[in-house]
A and B are shown apart, each in its own frame.
Chain A
Amino acid sequence: MSFVTRGFSGRNRERDPRLPPGQTKVEDWPVLSAGPTPKIDTADWSFTVTTETGAQTHWSWDELRALGIEDITTDIHCVTHWSKLQMPWRGVPIDKILAGIPTHAKYVMAHSYGGYTTNVPLDELLNGQAWVAFEADGAPLDPEHGGPARLLVPHLYFWKSAKWVNGLTLMDTDDPGFWEQAGYNLHGDPWKEERYW
């Protein structure tokens, strides 16, 4: 249903093919959060995986990092229409966190300090697609950007990359998280513009 907007020609005429539809490249890093930024000391930080049977596995800050940190360079895409290209990140792949945890679950709810939640299909967190990230742009993650650790699922809109993440709950059926209950898409593929539902 799109039509030409009278008088609009656009300024950023170079269309980068790495930008999904409706996205604009930014050089700074916008902050979007629904509430105050929690301040979490890594000495108090812990990460918990809960399976669909209720079994829990816990990691301290050092234990989780000891699973093996990878370097990642990736584009990220926020549903509010900005993208950052070729960002360096460091984090532990979800594959290593879930290795050895028996499950038949199909979906995951990520949980955060402060109460934020977001849902992601389990198979989209595996095979090198997602991490618990501690660093971005060569420095520890700022609290505003989700530090000390956030989920990194760069192939989905960035609200799925839960800031201040502290756990994953494995689920048999999908369930909407915080923004998903407020009208955002259950899946969130930026290349399909799955912004809202």
Chain B
Amino acid sequence: MSALPAAAARTAWYTGTVVEARPETGSARRLVIDVAGWPGNDAGQHLDVRLTAPDGYQAQRSYSIASAGSDTRIELAVDELPTGEVSPFLVEDVAVGDKIELHGPLGGYFVWMPQAVTHDPRPVQLIAGGSGVVPFVAMVRAHAAANDPTPFRLLYAVRQPDDVFYRQELAQLAASGLQLDFVYSRTAPHDWPVPAGRITKEALEGFVIPASDKPRIYICGSTGFVELVAGWLIELGHAAGDIRTERFGGK
């Protein structure tokens, strides 16, 4: 059990150059960063960003990576926290051509690997709350890139349609095999069959792969969202050991 995971062995500091920056939503920005020497990353891994001020003051934060694979070009999608320190810089200030320090790839648990690696044919249920969708973007991309036969379903809980990250790409993937469901907590699209509102246990049951199919489940979102959803999934008969979580924020 002491085997050093491959990903961990490659973890190091790298210098990334921002090669693309564009608005993702009203409060979020997508950054494509070329990282010289980046060893590639698994779908769902994250990295640390370190910013240094002229007087040596530093700030570090962790971000999920929206891309996966061996490419040295990685993608982040950063939601700006109004009281934040690093996210406002990444969303408003950093420009194409700027260099930033990155440490990674990090995390060997909240990751998805193709069936060719895991030999696990069970379906996969992804459940995102807001910007918690970012690691799942990496997973659905990796799933499509590998032509993986594992059934994939993504439930994406979001306040309103304008807050959806990777809207076009998710729609394209949904047209080619990804089962994609949205729940809107504040405003739903005009033609939406269900009124906007907080997700309920009954709605959740309708949007996730049933416990009888023994899906592997990943949940990422705010602490409150993850606690609520994970608790309901247990009540719906899913095994705790099949549920992996990633949370942000306090309680």
Contacts and interface: CB of A to CB of B under 8 A. Distances in A.
Contacts of A179: 109
Given A1-B13, A183-B106, A36 B98 contact: no
Contact of A182 (B50, B108, B241): B108
A11 B58 CA distance: 10
Contacts of A29: 250-251
Contacts of A80: 62
Contacts of A37: 227, 230-231
A182 B107 contact: yes
Interface residues of A, number: 45
Contacts of B84: 11
B148 interface: no
B250 A181 contact: no
A181 B51 contact: no
Interface in A152-197: 175-176, 178-179, 181-183, 196-197
B108 A183 contact: yes
A35 B100 contact: no
Interface in B216-231: 223, 227, 230-231
Interface size class of B (residues with CB under 8 A): 35 or more
A145 B251 CA distance: 9
Given A35-B241, A182-B108, A22 B60 contact: yes
Interface of B is mostly: mixed
Given A29-B251, A31-B223, A81-B62, A181 B85 contact: no
Contact of B244 (A13, A24, A35): A35
A183 B7 CA distance: 7
B192 interface: no
A15 B57 contact: yes
Contacts of B240: 35-36, 38, 114
A145 B250 CA distance: 10
A142 B51 contact: no
Interface in B151-205: none
Contacts of A8: 51-53, 59, 89, 93
B212 interface: no
B60 A181 contact: no
Given A30-B248, A36-B231, A7 B62 contact: no
Contacts of B244: 34-35
B233 A30 contact: no
Nearest to B230: A36
Interface in B105-160: 106-110
Nearest to A7: B93
Contact of A144 (B15, B60, B88, B223): B223
Interface string B76-112: 0000000011001100011100111101001111100
Contacts of B61: 81
B1 A181 contact: yes
Contacts of A5: 51-53, 89, 98-101
Contact of A115 (B89, B94, B110, B241): B241
B27 interface: no
Given A5-B100, A31-B250, A34-B244, A183 B5 contact: yes
Interface of A: 1-13, 15, 21-22, 24, 26, 28-38, 80-81, 114-115, 142, 144-145, 175-176, 178-179, 181-183, 196-197
29 contacts: A1-B15, A2-B58, A3-B15, A5-B52, A5-B53, A6-B98, A7-B94, A8-B59, A11-B84, A30-B248, A31-B227, A33-B245, A35-B244, A36-B230, A36-B233, A36-B234, A36-B245, A81-B48, A81-B60, A144-B251, A175-B1, A181-B2, A181-B5, A182-B8, A182-B108, A182-B109, A183-B107, A196-B8, A196-B106
Interface of B: 1-5, 7-8, 11, 13, 15, 48, 50-54, 57-62, 84-85, 88-89, 93-95, 98-101, 103, 106-110, 223, 227, 230-231, 233-234, 240-241, 243-245, 247-251
Given A3-B52, A33-B245, A36-B233, 14 more contacts: A2-B52, A5-B100, A7-B98, A11-B88, A24-B85, A30-B247, A31-B250, A34-B244, A81-B60, A145-B251, A179-B109, A181-B2, A182-B107, A183-B7
